[in-house]
Amino acid sequence: MAVKTAKRAATPPVKRDHGLHLLHEMLRIRRFEEKCAELYSAQKIRGFMHLYDGEEAIAVGVMEILQPDDAVVATYREHGQALARGVPMNSIMAEMYGKQEGCSRGRGGSMHLFDAKTRFIGGNAIVGGGLGLALGLGLADKKQGKAHVTACFFGDGAMAEGAFHEVMNLAVLWQVPVMFVLENNQYAMGTALRYSHGETNLARRAGSYGLPAEEVDGMDVLAVEKAAKQAAVAIRAGEGPQFLECRTFRFRAHSMFDAELYRSKDEVDEWRKRDPIPNFIRLLKKGNLVTDEDVNALEHKVAEEIQEAVAFAEAGTLEPVEELTRFVYSERVTS
Amino acid sequence: MSTVAERQMIEITYREAMRDAIRDALKRDERVFLMGEDVGRYGGGFAVTKGLINEFGPERILDTPLSELGFTGAGVGASLGGMRPIVEIMTVNFSLLALDQILNNAASMLHMSGGQFNVPIVIRMATGAGRQLAAQHAHCLEGWYAHIAGIKVVTPATVEDARGMLWTALEDPDPVIIFENPMLYNMKGTVSADAGPVDINRAQVRRPGRDITIITYSYSLFKTLEAAEMLAKEGIEAEVIDLRTLRPLDDETYISSIAKTHRALIVDEGWRSGSISAEIMARIMEQAFYELDTPVQRVCSEEVPMPYPRHLEEAALPQADKIVDAVKRMVR
């Protein structure tokens, strides 16, 4: 990560407002999930829960370039994507609580956040299962002549699935307007890249399907944003699907049931040095773009939002059991 | 579609009925497109879609590579994106490669999104044996699919249903799977030239009778009707019910028939264990136990992977003589 030794004030890496905005978004995710971990221990949140700690720069960088009509397909580690996409924090927290004020009425939980308003098409908890959805969303956009982008997030584990092969081939064949965003956090649950893949250069492998495949530092929000922007411009210009490999690391365990026997503390510590949030703060300070007071103000704002979200979730209501069998079939014709 | 006002009847095959239904759908609604393996340039594995690519072009009759999981997923995504895809899977055995998308996404999305994202996809596939295609092309798994909450499963047996069920399925806001038994493709029947959609929520009595209710669906309907004619010569009048739809099951039609006949036999090309026939038996126990004069019986496929030689395949499947024997044991 060679940070350019450019003259400080002359070429700031980012405008102050935008830098503050990106930092705010990353902090919202980090602090929200810290709260979630606490609430999980307090048994307010149950089921499987997968934290994004360390990977925030990817969701924030990519969402920055999406338009309101674009679509997002994410994985089961999707709190960050949902927050950055603009799904209200209140409704996400209520979903974690299983309350009917949740973004999926409490039916989905942590792994199945959905939001029609922001075209957030899930929390998909089958590894590789979202790839086909994104392909089809892109196909629909292409058929209807809509200049949308569908951003599809998936992990390195998904690249071992047959679905990945099928979808890459079809995406290139049909030239669908989809941005495939690989979040390579080095581990498929507890299995390291080298134990999962014959070819561990995943961008190279993706490129072999015949689409532009870029590698980007997934710990650098500006780098992700820049790469995503280029990809989105190409997609909107009709140049077909684009692939971004974002190299990253999750600092916490895979889920709340993970003793982390498969990796060393040293490895985690090494990656922590590249934590996207403190590094970005350092960069902004170095450019004289923000002060400690700015950061504190953001932290305060985030803490308030989280406090409100928890209060909202706590005050939320449980769906009456009489409604259990709703939403198996549509209640109205939507055609 | 015919613009002739009077109901002109035409004789067509089941295959032509299905093709006409697809053609209608493509003309009626620009959101509709059909995709699958060899549906376009090849003309369809069973020639159902023959010629449609010339009429509608390769964008609407979309040939896919051999990627059942990928293109079924694309169908789910496209339906979420505002299209009305018809996904053709060549046979039910191949659909197992797409089961993740069918069960984990198509059937579950509405529910896990709390009612926000319905999936208006139609999936068509061939099912069933009878052409010596052995153990990987000829199973009858629609009963399995009927186990899945969140989808509808329809099994058109008649030319009229082949013509009308697709329309109804495309109007449905949720996933519908249409199972077509290739043994039916050459069967002829008459339909109205301007045939429209048909109800897919009701079973239908295909032959009235007083002595026993025989419940069946798809190609087995015709073996059952043949058996009913043989029985009639011996003075036994069987009432034959075509389920038409396996999910949701229309309990009312067969339960009210049993209230009249007091006997029930189920004919199902699927395997017996854990099957749709078992489900129907259970419902009869729940809803009509005291109407029965004799235990409910079944004629199903033998529990073997489908064998290749003709004599063994025939022995594995429900046949008219097996149905006759079963009925005679029940009606003494």
Question: Closest partner residue to A136 among B75, B111, B116, by Cβ?
Answer: B75
CB contact under 8 A, B74 and A122: no
Distance CA A125, CA B100 (A): 11
Please list the residues that pair with B191 across neighbouring strands: B10
Residue of A91, A166, A319, A332 to mutate, interface with B, max B Cβ within 10 Å: A166
CB contact under 8 A, B174 and A144: no
* Residues in chain A closer than 8 A to B169 (CB atoms): none
B83 touching A (Cβ < 8 Å): yes
> Residues with Cβ < 8 Å from B45, sequence gap 6 or more?
B37, B38, B90, B91, B126
Instruction: Kindly give the parts of chain A with pLDDT less than 70.
Output: 1-10, 332-335
pLDDT tens digit string along A236-256? 999 999 999 999 999 999 888
The predicted structure's pLDDT at residue B6? 63
CB contact under 8 A, A169 and B120: no
CB contact under 8 A, B115 and A326: yes
Q: Which residue of B has its CA nearest to A71?
A: B81
Residues 149-208 of B with CB under 8 A from A: 149-150, 152, 171, 173-174
The predicted structure's pLDDT at residue A143? 97
How many contacts (CB atoms, under 8 Å) link A and B? 155
The proportion of chain B whose per-residue pLDDT surpasses 90, expressed as a percent, equals 95
Q: Phi and psi (nearest 5°) for B327?
A: -65, -45
CB contact under 8 A, A334 and B173: yes
| Distance of residue B57 Cα from the nearest chain A Cα, in angstroms | 13
Across chain B, mean pLDDT equals 96
Question: Closest partner residue to B83 among A132, A143, A169, by Cβ?
Answer: A143
CATH 3.90.650.10 fits B204-330, yes or no: no
Q: Which residue of A has its CA nearest to B172?
A: A333
B80 touching A (Cβ < 8 Å): yes
Distance of CA B40 to the CA centre of its chain: 23
Annotation marks residue B68 as catalytic: yes
B120 touching A (Cβ < 8 Å): yes
B236-254: average pLDDT: 98
Parse chain B into domains and list their residue ranges: 9-192, 204-330
The predicted structure's pLDDT at residue A257? 83
What is A16-36+48-307's CATH number, 3.40.50.720, 3.40.50.970, 3.40.1000.10, 3.40.30.10? 3.40.50.970
Question: Closest partner residue to B81 among A123, A132, A140, by Cβ?
Answer: A140
The predicted structure's pLDDT at residue B7? 77
* Residues in chain A closer than 8 A to B73 (CB atoms): 129, 131-133, 135-136, 163, 167
B9-192 and B204-330 in the same fold: yes
| Distance of residue A94 Cα from the nearest chain B Cα, in angstroms | 13
Residue of A48, A119, A139 to mutate, interface with B, max B Cβ within 10 Å: A139
Query: What pTM does this model have?
Result: 0.94
Q: How many CB atoms lie within 10 A of CB B188?
A: 11
B68-89: average pLDDT: 98
Question: Closest partner residue to A132 among B73, B111, B152, by Cβ?
Answer: B73
Whether pLDDT at B228 is above 70: yes
- What is the per-residue burial (b if ≥16 Cβ within 10 Å, else e) of A217-245? bbbbbbbbbebbebbbebbeeeebbbbbb
Q: How would CATH label the architecture of B9-192?
A: 3-Layer(aba) Sandwich (3.40)
Stated as kind and residue range, the H or E segment containing B216 is strand B212-216
Distance CA A171, CA B74 (A): 10
Helix axes A16-41, A89-96, angle to 10 degrees: 20
Residue of B34, B63, B111, B123 to mutate, interface with A, max A Cβ within 10 Å: B111
Q: Phi and psi (nearest 5°) for A102?
A: -70, 160
Which DSSP letter does residue B96 get? G
The predicted structure's pLDDT at residue B5? 53
Distance CA B289, CA B258 (A): 10
CB contact under 8 A, B77 and A140: yes
pLDDT tens digit string along A43-61? 999 999 999 999 999 999 9
Whether pLDDT at B1 is above 90: no
Question: Closest partner residue to B74 among A102, A139, A162, by Cβ?
Answer: A139
B305 touching A (Cβ < 8 Å): no
CB contact under 8 A, B73 and A141: no
Q: Choose, from B16, B68, B180, B269, the residue flagged as catalytic.
A: B68
Question: Closest partner residue to B173 among A102, A138, A333, by Cβ?
Answer: A333
Q: Which of A86, A81, A90, A89 is nearest to A68 (CA)?
A: A86
pLDDT tens digit string along B125-138? 999 999 899 999 99
Contact call for residues B165 and B156 (beta carbons, < 8 A): yes
B84 touching A (Cβ < 8 Å): yes
Residue with tokens 């895979």: A254
The predicted structure's pLDDT at residue B43? 95
| Distance of residue B331 Cα from the nearest chain A Cα, in angstroms | 41
CB contact under 8 A, B76 and A132: yes
pLDDT tens digit string along B298-320? 999 999 999 999 999 999 999 99
Question: Closest partner residue to B77 among A132, A169, A327, by Cβ?
Answer: A132
pLDDT tens digit string along B136-149? 999 999 999 999 99
If DSSP states are collapsed to H, E and C, what string results for chain A?
A: CCCCCCCCCCCCCCCHHHHHHHHHHHHHHHHHHHHHHHHHHCCCCCCCCCCCCCCHHHHHHHHCCCCCCCEEEECCCCHHHHHHHCCCHHHHHHHHCCCCCCCCCCCCCCCCCCECCCCEEEECCCCCHHHHHHHHHHHHHHHCCCCCCEEEEEEHHHHHCHHHHHHHHHHHHHCCCEEEEEEECCEECCEEHHHHCCCCCHHHHHHCCCCCEEEEECCCHHHHHHHHHHHHHHHHCCCCCEEEEEECCCCCCCCCCCCCCCCCHHHHHHHHCCCHHHHHHHHHHHCCCCCHHHHHHHHHHHHHHHHHHHHHHHHCCCCCHHHCCCCCCCCCCCC
* Residues in chain A closer than 8 A to B72 (CB atoms): 132
Q: Which residue of B has its CA nearest to A125?
A: B104
The predicted structure's pLDDT at residue A332? 66
Annotation marks residue B111 as catalytic: no
